[in-house]
Structure 1
């Protein structure tokens, strides 16, 4: 059966996004994918004379841009379904929520009200989001205006814009941030590795560390504009030994999407993980295969980025004194710098009793 995946490639100014497109094209064409690129909508509009400074207001411009972007993506998906290729990867040069970095909350809310869209649907309409960090954060000597005539941001402005892009996508179930901790070629290789892992291509590996933390200040988390709240119901299905299969409903305020995830452990800290989107009908059908020895897990997840890492804080209804935080790393020995709001009790990466599969046992 044909499999179509849609991802976003985003990032701050001078992050290597243009070069990354070539790497993605080459790498995944070799892996048998038909790779389609949805060009950056802002560049098309501005080069054609339609810009925030030529329209009546920023809200009017952003509404036009978001409508056009959505139309283009819909057309690419429609075209993909007509193609004979079995594996199709649609790569969006920026996605709908990148526009949030150029708007106030009030402006963004007014667009949602006018269009009838909601933030969860816009954000999670993409299967994965890959953010390339600007050279202005950690590779300042390579920050340049020479490869983009439209670039005008100072180093400090580039850093702030980069943070705004990450904040806009925070809460997405598969957001990966590719920083400048290595040279540029290795940065591109890490991007390809992350996309490969997401697509379930040969031996994708993920290093994850888990920590037991003090119960967080929920009011403070919900006031933090860079922190996103997600409600999750997770149901485990019957599976083979050394394999975990689950379906998940996630979203907020009545707007939900559905996933099926298969994980196969290859060590205590590494696993192969493959994930795909489900429609509501397939999700409900999957629930018929629920593992009778485990109850569904309900939790509220607070997602936030900090110091180049992506943290997921899970708060469970049956605990009022503790919670769990997960952080994904490139290497199991990588140092983790926690946000001030996280008070670590102990690491529980290797403690099976804190895994969701165990918490779900009846």
Structure 2
């Protein structure tokens, strides 16, 4: 259940991205957050999950891949509009608009032109970025998610592209894969706690293994 918070102040909203390649652990981490944070933390759905889960055609053809990334970009923007309507201290985005660059089958300049925006403008939309690195097959990469189609090798390449796409963000934390997800999640939650106001942070983001 969400943690109670006695603070009734209007918060200065911070928008934080949780990103990373396929299999990095975003879904599991977001489940911890959704069930254990105060009401002033507002997690958003993943726009790619909304698009593909809703039946948008998925194909490796360049035209289809570009169409999908345009759709995902605009859904992400609109999800963030909804997130901003809450009295949220922190809007937690499951990926951000910059992520599409890693999946775009063409040069970066074409991506920004197709969406009518600039990389620096999209980076500026987010106050912080927490990047979970994709594990190798040895460290636990798997394809149990039905929307995950990438092999371990392809997932690692996407993760590298995401790392490059978010390069230069002034407040980025990169969480490496570890032998257990417990350690990785703890480090990510510590980074997330740093983005919360004192009233919400003291209410308790979950720390795996803690009482």
TM-score grouping bracket, smaller chain normalisation: 0.7 to 0.9
Whether the 8 Å CA contact 1:23–1:188 is kept in 2: the answer is no
Whether the 8 Å CA contact 2:44–2:94 is kept in 1: the answer is yes
Change (3 A) 1:189 1:141: closer
Alpha-carbon distance, 1:201 to partner: 4.4
Change (3 A) 1:193 1:112: same
The DSSP-based 3-state class of the residue aligned with 1:10 is strand
More contact order relative to length (CA 8 Å, sep ≥ 6): 2
Residue of 140, 143, 163 corresponding to 1:142: 140
Structure 2: unaligned runs, 5 residues or longer: 1-9, 202-211
Alpha-carbon distance, 1:104 to partner: 4.0
* Residue 67 of structure 2 corresponds to residue 69 of structure 1: no
Indicate the residue corresponding to 2:41 in structure 1. 35
For the residues of structure 2 that align with 1:141 and 1:114, how far apart are their CA atoms?
A: 37
Whether the 8 Å CA contact 1:9–1:92 is kept in 2: the answer is yes
Indicate the residue corresponding to 2:167 in structure 1. 170
Indicate the residue corresponding to 1:110 in structure 2. 110
For the residues of structure 2 that align with 1:25 and 1:115, how far apart are their CA atoms?
A: 31
Alpha-carbon distance, 1:35 to partner: 2.0
Report 1:223-238 matches (<5 A).
none
* Residue 24 of structure 2 corresponds to residue 18 of structure 1: no
Alpha-carbon distance, 1:181 to partner: 3.3
Whether the 8 Å CA contact 1:52–1:62 is kept in 2: the answer is no
Larger Rg over CA atoms: 1
For the residues of structure 2 that align with 1:120 and 1:133, how far apart are their CA atoms?
A: 23
* Residue 109 of structure 2 corresponds to residue 96 of structure 1: no
Structure having the larger proportion of residues in helix: 2
Instruction: Summarize deviations over 1:200-243 as a string: whole Å, max 9, x none.
Output: 649x9xxxxxxxxxxxxxxxxxxxxxxxxxxxxxxxxxxxxxxx
Superposition TM-score, scaled by structure 2 size: 0.79
For the residues of structure 2 that align with 1:50 and 1:159, how far apart are their CA atoms?
A: 25
For the residues of structure 2 that align with 1:37 and 1:124, how far apart are their CA atoms?
A: 19
CA RMSD after TM alignment: 2.5
Alpha-carbon distance, 1:55 to partner: 9.4
Whether the 8 Å CA contact 1:27–1:192 is kept in 2: the answer is no
Change (3 A) 1:3 1:116: same
* Residue 130 of structure 2 corresponds to residue 123 of structure 1: no
Alpha-carbon distance, 1:49 to partner: 2.3
Structure having the larger proportion of residues in strand: 1
Alpha-carbon distance, 1:174 to partner: 0.9
Alpha-carbon distance, 1:56 to partner: 4.8
Indicate the residue corresponding to 2:7 in structure 1. none
